[in-house]
Structure 1
């Protein structure tokens, strides 16, 4: 009924375990030494280059390469040891996809860092924003794909999951419809993100107006976009909304804009002196880029007139500051030189009483 206890069986088992453990230690040590030697040579060769690209790539991939070499060494050692192979092979079915995914992920991050490093050396800010947007979206897309494939390969190592996958493949039509319906929002965001990277309706750093909010594009993700307003609020905009609805992009090609200043004056105002003072002030201002400085009467009402003063500057921030400066100066000049041009709607009770008393 019960097997007889035999000390020799235990001795054989401990010997086999000791041999397997020794093989693992020796294989790991050989792989680690090989890793140190190879990387010492590669790092020495990389230091001879003036470009920091080699250092960035080596820094990103050295750890996954180290553990991958150790895993390969243990796998080779397990081929010659039945006991070790019995226990290592089930674990290796999870380790191998994980290490491959780690290497692919590290390579994507390394090349992303290299491309961003080269962007810092570019002179054109618009081209920099365009390339940085493409790099961000495409690197996130590649990262998501690597994670999904890695997890899928690891799950296929589980027999029950593998059998479920085979059953689903047998009914591929129904599975495709179900998965497509469930993943429609995610797929829509993924396609929208790729389309933004290709067509570039907006880029990182662009000044946009979305749903009445004005701000800079701070982050672009596959599912949403972060717009940072002037008062430091973060507006979260779904990526698909950018393609489905219209929005304003104030820095599509460059940041040179023309901004208006509106003055509402009394019809008695003399326009020529106002125009001359406006052109003099703008022409002497340091923020003006020399492109546009124009004053036009755009509307006339029974009790007022509307003057539009247009100015331009090199950047959007300069346009805003120049508009504020022009508005402040022109109102001060009108109060001093043409006070009758300013519209007044006041009830002066004391002056009216004095006139009645006379």
Structure 2
């Protein structure tokens, strides 16, 4: 019973708060209509009287539209603040709905002005075309916002049901990003096509150009072929999962973390904070290294060159100690091996692992620094040296 009382009070408070400006517009519209009827009998000026009456009717319609808009907007905003901490999915849906209401308000007021004013045929045609253009652009914008909302809702729902948020979450995010980019491209393409088809002049110019210039058709065909190839490349990446957001990849001796996957390119964040932009077709046509694929952690190797007389076991014990004390190590790879025997040095490989690319870079730098300090302090004579022998004649 208490909940119902609170709900009624809430609705009453929202209605009163939303009705302030609509009441002002409503009273102004009633006053203008009364003035138009009074002027018709006492001071007959038909053009002015007609415009006063039309403006009064417009204020009445605007008051009704504004009342419904403010009521729904305040209601969505109140529930959005209330559910922000507990129901993130509902909050995202309400936020998207509240943004779309603004566009619908402008459209409703625009069409009200169009239908309630007495204008000539040419102006009416131009106004109708302008409103139709705004309608198509608005529906396209609402469609794109809906795609973003669906992406956020699906990702939030699926990650909340996952026990681990590592590889599966990155795979899901990659799929959603590519599907989102493809959907936005299709919505934009449909909106632009409908918009251009509504203009007879643009449509006739386009048809005449395509009919009279064969090379333009060829250029458009090649452009469409490249676009379709990028589209299918993105779809192939979705199903093959060859690269995901957060993966550590190496392309032509440049290593970086996949930061963004779009419809046409993949952006990598390099170790020095540079960004490498790679066309998405590159990952289909050419080989690349993916250090993160198929594992819950990222592994890498560190190479150290020492003298042949360097004892291995103390170095292995120090390496184990460094990893155990490091906050970047994920507790998996910790192998020390002799990778190669050169003519002057022994090449030792230290294999380490971390949860992501940033931690791996920090771990490798930390291990290099501490291993160098250990050899310098404990075994300074076992750095690589060049031996030579001189035989007397």
TM-score range, shorter chain: 0.7 to 0.9
CA distance in 2, matches of 1:248, 1:60: 43
Q: Describe the SS at the equivalent of 1:102.
A: helix
Residue ranges of structure 1 left out of the alignment (5+ in a row): 1-10, 353-358
The one-character-per-residue Cα deviations of 1:19-77 (angstroms, maximum 9, x if unpaired) are 66665555444433343345556666767755323432222211122123334545665
1:110 aligns with 2:149: yes
1:31 aligns with 2:41: no
TM-score normalised over the length of structure 1: 0.73
The answer to whether the 8 A contact 1:32-1:69 is kept is no
Report the counterpart of residue 185 of structure 2 in structure 1. 144
Residue ranges of structure 2 left out of the alignment (5+ in a row): 1-44
1:219 aligns with 2:219: no
1:94 aligns with 2:133: yes
CA distance in 2, matches of 1:275, 1:44: 61
The answer to whether the 8 A contact 2:251-2:288 is kept is yes
CA distance in 2, matches of 1:281, 1:88: 74
1:210 aligns with 2:262: no
The answer to whether the 8 A contact 2:250-2:289 is kept is yes
| Number of aligned residues | 336
CA distance in 1, matches of 2:315, 2:174: 45
Equivalent residue runs for 1:39-50 within 5 Å? 39=73
Report the counterpart of residue 291 of structure 1 in structure 2. 332
Choose which of 267, 271, 274 in structure 1 pairs with 2:308. 267
User: RMSD between aligned alpha carbons?
Assistant: 4.1
The answer to whether the 8 A contact 2:245-2:261 is kept is yes
Distance 1:335 1:318, change over 3 A: same
Distance 1:101 1:24, change over 3 A: farther
The one-character-per-residue Cα deviations of 1:316-335 (angstroms, maximum 9, x if unpaired) are 44444444444444444444
CA distance in 1, matches of 2:80, 2:302: 58
Distance 1:346 1:13, change over 3 A: farther
1:249 aligns with 2:283: no
Give the superposition deviation at 1:124: 0.6
Distance 1:18 1:178, change over 3 A: farther
Give the superposition deviation at 1:107: 2.2
The answer to whether the 8 A contact 1:258-1:292 is kept is yes
The answer to whether the 8 A contact 2:143-2:187 is kept is yes
Report the counterpart of residue 274 of structure 2 in structure 1. 233
The answer to whether the 8 A contact 2:159-2:165 is kept is no
TM-score normalised over the length of structure 2: 0.67
CA distance in 1, matches of 2:261, 2:295: 20
CA distance in 2, matches of 1:196, 1:303: 46
CA distance in 2, matches of 1:41, 1:332: 64
The answer to whether the 8 A contact 1:67-1:99 is kept is no
Give the superposition deviation at 1:228: 1.8
Report the counterpart of residue 351 of structure 2 in structure 1. 310
The one-character-per-residue Cα deviations of 1:288-309 (angstroms, maximum 9, x if unpaired) are 4443333333322343333323
Report the counterpart of residue 158 of structure 1 in structure 2. 199
The answer to whether the 8 A contact 2:248-2:292 is kept is yes
Q: Describe the SS at the equivalent of 1:343.
A: coil
The answer to whether the 8 A contact 1:259-1:320 is kept is no
CA distance in 2, matches of 1:102, 1:169: 30
Distance 1:314 1:132, change over 3 A: closer
